């Protein structure tokens, strides 16, 4: 008999596994990481003198509880850490563990693949010392390191102030917190956010704490460049009044909200449609997370909702899976989880509107800016290719012509910016630019390892 | 050789077995549990130079997604520095090394 497989051991995957175990199943839980918890609730290796309670702040209780629950769960599931799922063909997963390839058949598949930062390129963003905002937090949570001693936070996200607060708490100087969204635009989005007032208050608390500490916090900035010879030396911006401002720093954290890691859902056959609030193509799911026959999607890997929504949506998708197996439905639990997931995801949708992806700034980037970090393709090369292209323009065509998005990250980093540059040429919203299709292997796999699976 | 300037700054001590690895012929001291990337950036090493144009790179996403922190081991395989733990005696380089005896 084949099995029920969960991919991803973050809050969504753990939430799903708990529900399945409670109904007598023994799911296989596959995770690329060495330790469960996903990115947000990442637990450092033993021996690191890091006060996670202090670092996690208001989330400390949930962080500790999730790891306690996972420990209790571990004996009741088949947990496979450090295992990459690099392809899905029919009812078979292709795995890589310790450099060795293998396959695994499944009956039902629940993908909880998590999210990564969405970033907008700017001149100098490939310099050593520029990291994603999530990366800056992981350096701290996973390794006990700061990405620099004087750090600038740039992007558009409430997490800029949160991460800056964590960095300041751990002894970093904060050069600036610079958000590309104008302040009035954020205020205008507040009615949507008030649906979850406690989270809102926490968000404002982060900003207040930053202001109290005298950290410059700018709204409505236009990024000009990260400056430096062989590493970061300064961040150059134009403020909301158009004045150029230079902030000396030795590191920059970039974050424009999160984007779901949807490559595996793509390979598993999920349909995608364009979401105008997030300006991303996202897998289509029903109210419980069903994405196709025997395919379930949960957590930030399908809809950005944060850790609580991820956990609830994992449990909800597991209830869907159980119902599809013919088990009696716990309708009270389903109703409660559905409400929770809808409310939290609506809040994140409000945040995505309030902290806007700076599409106009991206469309206006100078030709010289590096767009694809992997294949070294500039914005100008993409524009030149679009000038030469015959027939309808869309991202996959531009990718084939320029190699932008074809490198080893598979467009995870440059994809959203590429989409805006193509969309600004073809007119219309991001939907008009088309969707970068996922390809196996979803992450680079040595040919020798892939060969052992054949 | 110019004095190495660390990118990462350690703010939480790590207790564990001391580990020595080599990167580009330079000895890097780390502690068991450190990622290769943290060990290198804490010691002022850069991760790699881009195949095109030779610009320095030092990782970006730190969560195994961007693939911008590959280094090469003496055995010829590549290692994603942000998600690989240090091992004692690791011999790493910024670029793939030709097998011994090759006149490449």
Q: Chain B partners of A34 at a C-beta cutoff of 8 Å? A: 83, 85
Q: Where in chain A is the domain with CATH 3.50.50.60?
A: 3-116+259-351, 119-256
Question: Residue A50 above 80 pLDDT?
Answer: yes
Neighbours of B78 (CB within 10 A): 15
CA distance A41 to chain B (A): 13
Compare CB distances from B61 to A117, A251, A408 and report the shortest one's residue.
Answer: A117
Model pLDDT for residues A374-414, shown as the tens digit of each residue: 999 999 999 999 999 877 889 999 999 999 999 989 999 99
What does the mean pLDDT of chain B come to?
A: 86
At A99, list the tokens. 């450099």
The pLDDT assigned to A206 comes to 61
Instruction: Read off the pLDDT band of B76 (50, 70, 90).
Output: confident
User: Across the interface, do B12 and A408 touch by the CB < 8 Å criterion?
Assistant: no
pLDDT band at A57 (very low <50, low <70, confident <90, very high): confident
pLDDT digits (tens, 9 = 90+) for A284-308: 999 999 999 999 999 999 999 999 9
Chain B CA closest to residue A44 = B33
Q: What is the DSSP letter of B22?
A: E
Cβ-defined contact of B11 to A146 (cutoff 8 Å)? yes
* pLDDT-above-90 percentage for chain A: 78
Q: What are phi and psi of A66, to 5 degrees?
A: -60, -45
For residues A105 and A92, is the Cβ–Cβ distance under 8 A?
yes
Cα–Cα distance measured from residue A251 to residue B39, given in angstroms and rounded to the nearest whole number: 17
Q: Is the pLDDT of residue A140 over 60?
A: yes
Residues A319, A337: Cα–Cα separation, whole Å: 10
Q: Is B36 on the interface with A (CB under 8 A)?
A: no
Residue A169 reports pLDDT greater than 60: yes
How is residue A202 written in tokens? 């926490």
Q: What residues in A contact B66, CB-CB < 8 Å?
A: 132, 373, 409, 412-413
State the span(s) of chain A assigned CATH 1.10.10: 359-433
From the CB of residue A243, how many other CB atoms can be counted at a distance below 10 Å? 8
Residue-range domains of chain B with CATH: 18-93 (3.10.20.740)
Q: Which two tokens stand for residue A449?
A: 């390892």
Nearest to B10 among A145, A148, A376 (CB): A145
Weakest-pLDDT range from A100-114, A206-220, A421-435: A206-220
CB contact under 8 A, B62 and A131: yes
Residue B9 touches partner A, C-beta closer than 8 Å: yes
Please report, for residues A146, A323, A330, A339, B99, the alpha-carbon distance to residue A19 in angstroms, rounded to integers and kept in the order given. 37, 12, 11, 17, 51
Tell me, yes or no, if B12 comes closer than 8 A to chain A by beta carbon. Answer: yes
Give the span between the Cα atoms of A342 and A305, in whole angstroms.
9
Nearest by CB to residue B67, choosing from A47, A128, A444, is A444
Task: Please say if the pLDDT value at position B18 is more than 50.
Answer: yes
Predicted pLDDT of residue B49: 77
Average pLDDT over chain A reads 92
The single-letter DSSP state of residue A47 is T
pLDDT at A79: 98
User: Which of B31, B84, B33, B40 lies closest to B58, judged by CA?
Assistant: B40
DSSP B81: G
- A448, pLDDT greater than 90: no
Q: Which residues of B touch A231 (CB under 8 A)?
A: 5, 7, 56, 58
* A58-85: pLDDT as tens digits: 889 999 999 999 999 999 999 999 999 9
Structure tokens of B18? 């001391």
User: Which tens digit of pLDDT belongs to each residue from B27-53?
Assistant: 999 999 999 999 999 998 777 777 777
Tokens of A15: 């939430």
Q: List beta partners, residue B30.
A: B19
Instruction: Tell me the C-alpha distance between A301 and A11, whole Å.
Output: 11
- Chain B residues closer than 8 Å to A147 by CB: 7-8
What is the token pair recorded at A23? Answer: 């109904």
Please tell me the distance from the alpha carbon of residue A145 to that of residue A95, in angstroms, as a whole number: 31
**Residue scoring higher pLDDT (B83 or B99):** B83
Helix crossing, A379-388 with A395-402: angle to 10°?
110
Strands of A12-99, DSSP E: 28-30, 78-80, 83-89, 92-97
> What are the tens digits of pLDDT across the range A172-221?
999 999 999 998 887 777 656 566 656 665 665 566 565 657 788 999 99
Residues of chain B contacting residue A45, judged by C-beta atoms under 8 Å apart: 33, 85
pLDDT value for A54: 87
Pick the CATH number of A359-433 from 1.10.10, 1.10.3710, 3.30.390, 3.30.70: 1.10.10
pLDDT in tens, A220-279: 999 999 999 989 999 999 999 999 999 999 999 999 999 999 999 999 999 999 999 999
Q: Say which residues have a Cβ less than 8 Å from residue A204's Cβ, sequence separation at least 6.
A: none
Between residues A330 and A430, which one has the greater pLDDT? A330
Among the partner residues B33, B77, B83, nearest to A46 by beta-carbon distance: B33
Arithmetic mean of pLDDT, A82-97: 96
pLDDT of residue A454: 44
What kind of fold does domain A3-116+259-351 have according to CATH? Answer: FAD/NAD(P)-binding domain (3.50.50)
pLDDT at A101 over 90: yes
Q: Which of A33, A149, A409 sits opposite B66 (nearest CB)?
A: A409
Residue A200 tokens, joined? 């809102």
Token pair for B22: 């080599």
Report the C-alpha gap between A288 and A314 in whole angstroms: 9
Judging contacts by C-beta atoms under 8 Å, the chain A residues touching residue B8 are 139, 143, 145-148
Q: Which CATH class is domain A119-256?
A: alpha beta
Rounded to an integer, what distance in angstroms lies between the CA atom of residue A197 and that of residue B79? 44
Beta strands A100-111 and A234-238, pairing class: unpaired
What integer pLDDT is reported at residue A6 of this predicted model?
98
User: What's the ipTM?
Assistant: 0.92
Euclidean distance between CA atoms B104 and B99, whole angstroms: 9
Neighbours of A23 (CB within 10 A): 14
Q: Report the phi/psi class of residue A448: left, alpha or beta, with left for phi > 0 and alpha for psi in -120 to 50.
A: alpha
């Amino acid at each position: 008999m084949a099995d029920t497989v969960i991919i991803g051991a973050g809050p969504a995957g753990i939430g799903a596994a708990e529900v399945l175990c409670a109904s007598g199943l023994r799911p296989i839980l596959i995770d690329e990481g060495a330790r469960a918890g996903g990115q947000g609730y990442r637990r450092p290796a033993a021996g690191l003198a890091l006060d996670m309670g202090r670092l996690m702040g208001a989330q400390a209780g949930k962080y500790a509880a999730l790891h306690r629950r996972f420990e209790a769960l571990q004996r009741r599931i088949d947990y496979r850490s450090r295992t990459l799922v690099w392809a899905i063909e029919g009812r078979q997963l292709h795995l890589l563990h310790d450099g060795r390839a293998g396959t695994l058949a499944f009956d039902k598949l629940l993908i909880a693949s998590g999210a990564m930062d969405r970033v907008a390129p700017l001149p100098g963003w490939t310099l050593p010392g520029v990291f994603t905002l999530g990366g800056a937090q992981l350096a701290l949570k996973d390794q006990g390191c700061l990405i620099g001693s004087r750090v600038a936070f740039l992007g558009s996200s409430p997490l800029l102030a949160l991460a800056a607060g964590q960095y300041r708490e751990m002894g970093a100087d904060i050069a600036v917190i610079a958000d590309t969204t104008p302040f009035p635009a954020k205020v205008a989005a507040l009615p949507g956010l008030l649906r979850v007032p406690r989270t809102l208050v926490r968000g404002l608390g982060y900003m207040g704490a930053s202001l109290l500490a005298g950290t410059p916090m700018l709204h409505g900035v236009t990024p000009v460049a990260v400056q430096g010879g062989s590493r970061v030396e300064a961040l150059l911006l134009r403020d909301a009044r158009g004045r150029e401002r230079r902030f000396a720093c030795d590191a920059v954290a970039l974050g424009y909200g999160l984007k779901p890691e949807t490559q595996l859902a793509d390979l598993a056959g999920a349909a995608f449609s364009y979401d105008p609030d997030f300006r991303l193509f996202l897998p289509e799911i029903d109210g419980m997370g069903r994405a196709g026959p025997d395919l379930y999607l949960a957590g930030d890997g399908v809809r950005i909702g944060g850790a609580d929504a991820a956990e609830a949506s994992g449990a909800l998708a597991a209830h869907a899976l159980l119902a599809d197996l013919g088990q009696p439905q716990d309708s009270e639990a389903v109703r409660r989880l559905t409400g929770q997931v809808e409310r939290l995801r609506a809040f994140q949708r409000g945040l995505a509107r309030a902290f806007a992806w700076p599409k106009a700034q991206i469309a206006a980037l100078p030709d010289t800016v590096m767009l694809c970090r992997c294949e070294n393709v500039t914005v100008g090369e993409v524009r030149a290719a679009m000038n030469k292209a015959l027939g309808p323009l869309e991202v996959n065509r531009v990718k084939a012509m320029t190699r932008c998005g074809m490198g080893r990250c598979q467009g995870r980093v440059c994809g959203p910016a590429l989409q805006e540059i193509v969309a600004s040429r073809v007119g219309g919203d991001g939907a008009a630019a088309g969707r970068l299709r996922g390809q196996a292997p979803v992450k680079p796999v040595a040919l020798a390892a892939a060969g052992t699976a054949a | 050789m110019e004095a190495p300037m660390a990118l990462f700054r350690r703010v939480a001590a790590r207790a564990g077995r001391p580990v020595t690895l080599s990167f580009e012929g330079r000895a890097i001291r780390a502690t068991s549990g450190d990622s290769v990337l943290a060990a290198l950036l804490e010691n002022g090493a850069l991760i790699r130079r881009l195949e095109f144009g030779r610009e320095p790179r030092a990782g970006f996403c730190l969560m195994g997604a961007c693939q911008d922190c590959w280094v090469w081991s003496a055995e010829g395989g590549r290692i994603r520095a942000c998600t690989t733990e240090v091992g004692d005696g690791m011999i790493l380089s910024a670029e793939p090394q030709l097998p011994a005896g090759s006149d490449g």
